[in-house]
Amino acid sequence: MKSALYEAGNHDELLLSMTVDQAGVSGGRLKIADPHGTSLFDSAFDGGDASAALEAMFTWLREHGFLSGLAAAGHRLVQGGPRHKDPQRITPEFLSEMEQLVPLDPDHMPAAIRGIKFIAGKFPGLPQVACFDTAFHSSLPRVARMYALPRRFYDEDIQRYGFHGLSYEYVMSELHALEGELANGRVIIAHLGSGASMAAVKEGKSIDTSMGFTPLEGLVMATRSGDVDPGVLLYLFGHKKMSAKEMNALVNKESGLLGVSGTSGDMKVLLDNIHQDARAGDALDLFCYRAKKYIGAYAAVLGGLDVLVFAGGIGEHAPVVRHRICDGLDFLGIHLDVPCNEADAALISASESRVRVRVIKTNEDLMIVRHVLSALGWTNA
């Protein structure tokens, strides 16, 4: 669980960042840092559920005087369903509607709803705003949204929604500031972190994205499989007698980088071990191969490419990964400046590169702050 406290004035100033490791598990740990990353609090807390984590966090905030001016709370909701395309103030009726979407995302939605209810209980009059991770992809054309299943399922909202929308939205706002009109051209954004996805953006709108009905589809991730033949799951179900619960754990928690390497889903750990561990090398190779394949596909969908952006923890901090993904894509006009790439520079394309290649640090928290201000009609919305 990640949270941040902002002074939402003229500069949207970050005051605190807060993380809970193993939220909902006995032995959780609360970490609070200042805007420079200096630790202000790092301690275990008692309790075996997410409410205990929130209780510990708000207790510290109250004891240190951070709650007296609390004006609003914004929440990242992974799933907005087919109807919700804009940030929305949370009401009891809205919350009931969100509970109906839990089957679309049973891994994230229940915890988000519990957090909303917890804050409503603590601060009954506090405005709360829902920000949807699917909203950025509401512009997907029908052909990119549909699965080749019987039409009745599409009519029942079984379709490709896409995720990481808050990150893509922030990256595009930064790209407009950096590149001006070029940001309205043909753009591919690779959000590479423990959860990884890619988006094809044309004229500022998402026209395709790698994640689909759930965040499972698409790229290789830390513990998620990404694309896999549905027949594999049918085989596991029919011949290996795996239950739905076991298969859910398999593709969400036991696959991806972790599954291929057999040791870790952390890219940094794998990069440290690739020379002595062949399976770590396999995991890296598969991660980069799948990303490269999607870049080629999305360049075709876009009709060419003007800008490639790397974002997310891996995209921002792993030069080896960026190099391997871009290697061999010179036919698309992609050429990296090796020293700039190694230095994690903001612009890593060579002078002769027809495609601008950038590294942009994403900031979903700040995007939520902006949406909260806008939804509530406050200053600098």
In the chain, the amino acid numbered 84 is H
Residue 243 structure tokens:
């239950």
Report the C-alpha gap between 135 and 164 in whole angstroms: 9
- Contact yes or no for 68/113 (Cβ under 8 A): no
H helices, E strands: number in the chain: 15, 12
The residue annotated as part of the active site, out of 86, 105, 107, 133, is: 133
* Residues contacting residue 160 through CB under 8 Å, at least 6 positions apart: 140, 144, 145, 146, 147, 209, 211, 212, 213, 217
Please name the amino acid found at residue 233.
L
> 3-state DSSP call for residue 60?
helix
Q: What is the dihedral of CA 361, 90, 380, 18, to 10 degrees?
A: -40
300, two tokens: 């075709």
3-state secondary structure of 188: strand
**What residue has token string 């994403």?**
362
Sign of the four-CA dihedral 196, 201, 204, 207: negative
In one-letter notation, the amino acid at residue 134 is T
Identify which of 195, 235, 187 has the alpha carbon closest to the alpha carbon of residue 217.
Answer: 195
Nearest-angstrom CA–CA distance, 121 and 213: 32
Distance CA 212, CA 214 (A): 5
- 282 assigned to active site: no
Tokens representing 347 are 């612009």
Residue 302, SS3 per DSSP: helix
Quick count: other Cβ atoms within 10 Å of Cβ 95? 15
Which amino acids are annotated catalytic?
133
